[in-house]
Amino acid sequence: MAITQWDPLNPPIRPGLYTNFVEAAIAQISGGVRGIVAIPLKTYSGGSATAKTFYTVEKEAEAVALFGSANITSIKLALRGGAKEVLVYTMPASPVTADYVDMRNAYEARPFNVFVFDGEPSATERTNTLAWLQTNRNERKHFTFVTGGTSAEDATPATGNTRSIALKDDYVVNLITGVTIDGTEYSSGQYAAFIAGLVAGTPINRSITFTQVAVDDVTKRLRNSEVVTALEAGSMVLVNDGEKVKIEQGLTTNKTKIRSISARQQIATDIEKTARDNYIGKLDNNEDGQMALINAIKAYLETMEVNNVLTDLSVGLDPQRPSIGDSVFLAIGYREIDSMERIFLTINV
């Protein structure tokens, strides 16, 4: 994946730290506060919440008081998945296209890690959210979009795979399997909130592959060939192995590991925030100032190395571009550490 946030032929005008991820130096990082899931809530009658307002929820009891017990399924699923908190935006009654635009604009000014809809979004809103995500990425705001489909779509894996292909992106996760919990069926679009909480709450030095989920069963059990086809399409699949239901593999629709993407998002977010808070406008662009910035970033990455997020790191001035005037160009390299997901045995007897 290449995250291009500055163009050498057209450098940005605004002061800031601009990060380029190039294919030869794809890397991972952790740090900062993770675990925030953003949910635009459609219905909240019976509670104290008002329209077009943000609410931060950490406990189900808080959600009941704000939105009413009948309206918080997606919030409960996100919290049970592992979200530290849910950042709720209350949609107006019978929202129209302009209301979704307002919602997206409002979220741009708030920090969060994963975005998911309350229930099953329309195909139009999925497409609009993908475009919004890509625009934000180019503007240095990084988050993952988790989505799914309807029960009817879940009945045909090919339909879900078509959705994955249409939403192909390193920052998108598309669930194509519904589940049943205590006799109640949840479509993949509804259960996506749980996956969003799991993605947000899982440490970036861990994978969600083979994570067991607390459900009774999947709504459709896929054959081996169907699972393989789904993974090749970039779909997230839940599988009943006869004993438990688990996530087959933590993949984005671009067939990139979620563990890798979460780490890349964190490095882009944390290094820039550190530079903005402590270095931009505060250091001279000379050898001493440049080394102070390099040493700070290196120390940060070394912490990630100790925590098995990355290894083989290097940080220094970019030899291809002179750091003069008010611009500093750094070359950062490291190798990601992946989880062990495929084990091959050769047994000689």
CATH number of residue 251's parent domain: 3.40.50.11780
Of 105-109, 189-193, 202-206, the range with the lowest mean pLDDT is 202-206
Contact (Cβ atoms closer than 8 angstroms) between residue 301 and residue 315: yes
138 and 40, same structural domain? yes
52 and 119, same structural domain? yes
Structure confidence by residue, pLDDT tens digits, 65-109? 999 999 999 999 999 999 999 999 999 988 999 999 999 999 999
221 and 99, same structural domain? yes
12 and 49, same structural domain? no
Region 150-171: mean pLDDT is 98
Q: CA 24 from chain center: how many Å?
A: 22
What lies within 8 Å, CB to CB, of 234 at 6+ separation is 164, 165, 168, 174, 251, 252, 253, 254, 255
Structure confidence by residue, pLDDT tens digits, 32-46? 346 899 999 999 998
* Residue 165 pLDDT > 50: yes
Q: What range does the domain containing 293 cover?
A: 3-28+265-336
Q: Of the spans 21-35, 146-160, 262-276, which averages the highest pLDDT?
A: 146-160
Which token pair is 214? 């607390």
Residues of the chain above pLDDT 70, percent: 91
Rg of the chain taking only CA atoms, in angstroms: 21
* Residue 274 pLDDT > 80: no
Give domain status of residue 342, yes or no: no
Please report the pLDDT score of residue 20 as a whole number. Answer: 57
Please report the pLDDT score of residue 17 as a whole number. Answer: 65
Give domain status of residue 347, yes or no: no
Q: CA 247 from chain center: how many Å?
A: 16
161 and 69, same structural domain? yes
130 and 147, same structural domain? yes
Give domain status of residue 189, yes or no: yes
In angstroms, what CA-CA distances link 19 with 40, 67, 139, 171, 324? 30, 40, 11, 17, 17
323 and 242, same structural domain? no
Q: Which residue has the higher pLDDT, 277 or 71?
A: 71
269 and 252, same structural domain? no
Please report the pLDDT score of residue 199 as a whole number. Answer: 95
In angstroms, what CA-CA distances link 297 with 4, 217, 220, 294, 327? 19, 46, 47, 5, 17
Which token pair is 309? 């997020």
21 and 45, same structural domain? no
- Which helix (H) or strand (E) segment is 165 a member of? helix 157-166
Contact (Cβ atoms closer than 8 angstroms) between residue 179 and residue 221: no
Region 9-31: mean pLDDT is 52
Please report the pLDDT score of residue 18 as a whole number. Answer: 66
Q: Which residue has the higher pLDDT, 3 or 326?
A: 326
137 and 170, same structural domain? yes
| Reported confidence tier of residue 215, pLDDT bands at 50, 70, 90 | very high
199 and 153, same structural domain? yes
Which token pair is 50? 């008002």
19 and 108, same structural domain? no
Of 135-144, 148-157, 271-280, the range with the lowest mean pLDDT is 271-280
* Residue 14 pLDDT > 80: no
Number of domains in the chain: 2
Please report the pLDDT score of residue 348 as a whole number. Answer: 79
**Boundary residue ending a domain (215, 230, 259):** 259
Region 4-11: mean pLDDT is 65
C-alpha 33/C-alpha 61 separation (Å) is 23
Region 276-290: mean pLDDT is 88
Give domain status of residue 343, yes or no: no
- The CA-to-CA distance between both ends of the chain, in Å, stands at 43
* Residue 13 pLDDT > 80: no
